[in-house]
Amino acid sequence: MKLVDAHCHFDFPRFDGRRLSELDAASSNGIVGLVIPGVRRPDWERVRDTALAHSGLYYCLGIHPWFVGAHSTGDLESLEQILGIRPERCVAVGECGLDRLHGDMKAQYPWFEAQIDMASRLKFPLIIHSVKAHDEIHAVLRRKGWAGSALVHGFSGSYQQATKLVDQGCFIGVGGVITHARARKTRDTVARLPLESLVLETDAPDMAPEGIEAGANSPVYLRRILECLSEIRGEPLDYLASAVFSNTRRLYGQSLW
């Protein structure tokens, strides 16, 4: 069994001094790699260095909607210059997107749109943060004529919203939220979506599965998410593992793992 954590903030200080032990534990659970998203320009170098320090790790660079106010248009120009040279192990633009619950969503739009345009020009996938904004995300992608692949990470919307995003070229990120019995809408959504649209992620150290302390999530729990998905969909574990692994390679690159 091979699994990839499609979205994990492994560069965060929470993992300082314990990355090797975390990776060893994850490997024991079939995890062969993970992808680290970038969220702010000051962190980009740390994100890159964390990925390059370990085999099987890849990264993305972007400007997260929470932090748009701390950036300038010059940061977008720098981002495109960096991505334009196709740096080693950099596999996507993001994390970018819209968040209705954090900051001014109107102010977030230009930053999201600029990163969509950038990904289109450079032929990179997009890693999208969407909180209470799935309809708006879909509308922007459609208006922009998005024709690439994208991950809507940590999805917690309706089946109808997910279907529209999948039709627009998006993969749906399945994370620890599905392990919580109260997340009925999200559990129903991942049960009904086409399997070829799903990838697994932890969003560690956040988005902890049931029974795990907030902020203490880890890539090692990816298998627990897979097991829960197997239960929800009524499909064998090995079958699901093979499918979501293939989906993750289609998202980020067939030759990565």
**pLDDT on residue 13:** 94
Average pLDDT, the chain: 96
The encoded tokens of residue 33 equal 């790699």
Q: Is 107 exposed, middle or buried (0-12, 13-18, 19+ CB in 10 A)?
A: exposed
User: Positive or negative, the Cα torsion across 200, 203, 207, 213?
Assistant: positive
CB 4 within 8 A of CB 26: no
**pLDDT on residue 256:** 87
Residue with tokens 């534990």: 25
- CA proximity to 242, closest of 31, 2, 27: 2
Could you tell me the pLDDT band of residue 255, with boundaries at 50, 70 and 90? Answer: confident
Q: What is the mean pLDDT of residues 108-132?
A: 97
Q: Any residues with CB less than 8 A from the CB of 110 and at least 6 apart, and which?
A: none
Residue length of the chain = 257
How many whole angstroms separate alpha carbon 93 and alpha carbon 122? 9
* Tens-digit pLDDT profile for residues 86-96: 999 999 999 99
pTM comes to 0.96
**pLDDT on residue 254:** 79
Taking each helix axis from N to C end, the angle separating 222-233 and 237-252, rounded to the nearest 10 degrees, works out to 120
How many whole angstroms separate alpha carbon 237 and alpha carbon 223? 10
How many whole angstroms separate alpha carbon 124 and alpha carbon 122? 6
* Tens-digit pLDDT profile for residues 139-181: 999 999 999 999 999 999 999 999 999 999 999 999 999 999 9
Q: What is the mean pLDDT of residues 204-233?
A: 95
**pLDDT on residue 82:** 97
Alpha-carbon distances, residue 15 vs 7, 12, 98, 205, 214 (angstroms):
15, 6, 27, 8, 14
DSSP per-residue string spanning 133-147: -HHHHHHHHHHTT--
* Tens-digit pLDDT profile for residues 40-86: 999 999 999 999 999 999 999 999 999 999 999 999 999 999 999 99
- CA proximity to 76, closest of 43, 39, 115: 115
